[in-house]
Amino acid sequence: MTAISRDEVAHLARLARLSVTDEELDRFASQLDVILQAVARVGEVATADIPPTSHAVPLTNVMREDRVTPGLTAEEALAGAPDVAEGRFRVPRILEEEQ
């Protein structure tokens, strides 16, 4: 029995914004199937009344004084960007032509 199909892997790749190749899809599908069957063992443990742990440190709502401290300048923040225009990050178009 397989845990995950090639079509499901293709769907995951779209969700994760990875334009994987057909050859990668074949390989990832078989590898993810092996991994998922192994990690599915967590389901063997009875956990009906067990709370989840999201974090090892029992800290909540850490507060600090709201003091102004120096931050990055716009130039510094933009310095590593692949494309910049008019002091902003430039991105490819987001909307389709006819909208």
Partner 1 sequence: MTELTSLPATRLAALIAAGDVSAVEVTRAHLDRIAATDGLVHAFLHVDADGALAAAEAVDAAVRAGERLGPLAGVPVALKDVFTTKGMPTTCGSAILKGWVPPYDATIVTRLRDAGLPILGKTNMDEFAMGSSTEYSAFGPTRNPWDPSRTPGGSGGGSAAAVAAHQAPLAIGTDTGGSIRQPGALTGTVGAKPTYGGVSRYGLVAFSSSLDTPGPAARTVADAAALHAVIAGHDPRDSTSIPQPVPDVVGAAARGADGDLSGVRLGLVRELAGEGAEPGVVAAFEAAVDTLTKLGARVEEVSCPHFTYALPAYYLIAPSECSSNLARFDGVRYGLRVGDDGTRPLEEVMAMTRQAGFGPEVKRRIMLGTYALSSGYYEAYYGQAQKVRTLISRDFQAAFERVDVLVSPTTPFVAFPFGARTGDPYQMYLADLYTIPSNLYGGPAISVPCGLADGLPVGLQVMAPTMADDRMYLVAAALESALPQPSPPPLKAAPAA
Q: What does the binding site for partner 1 look like in residue numbers (CB under 8 A)?
A: 4, 8-9, 12-20, 24, 28, 31-32, 34-36, 38-45, 47, 50-57, 59, 62, 64, 72, 76-77, 79-83, 89, 91-94, 96
Nearest-approach distance from CB 69 to partner 1, in angstroms: 10
Nearest-approach distance from CB 67 to partner 1, in angstroms: 10
Q: Which residues contact 26 (CB under 8 A, 6 or more apart)?
A: 6
Nearest-approach distance from CB 36 to partner 1, in angstroms: 7
Assess contact for 64 and 41: CB atoms under 8 A.
Answer: no
1 or 15: whose CB is closer to partner 1? 15
Nearest-approach distance from CB 54 to partner 1, in angstroms: 6
2 or 79: whose CB is closer to partner 1? 79
d(C-alpha 89, C-alpha 84), whole Å: 5
Taking the CA atoms of 93, 94, 96 and 99 in sequence, report the sign of the dihedral they define: negative
d(C-alpha 19, C-alpha 10), whole Å: 9
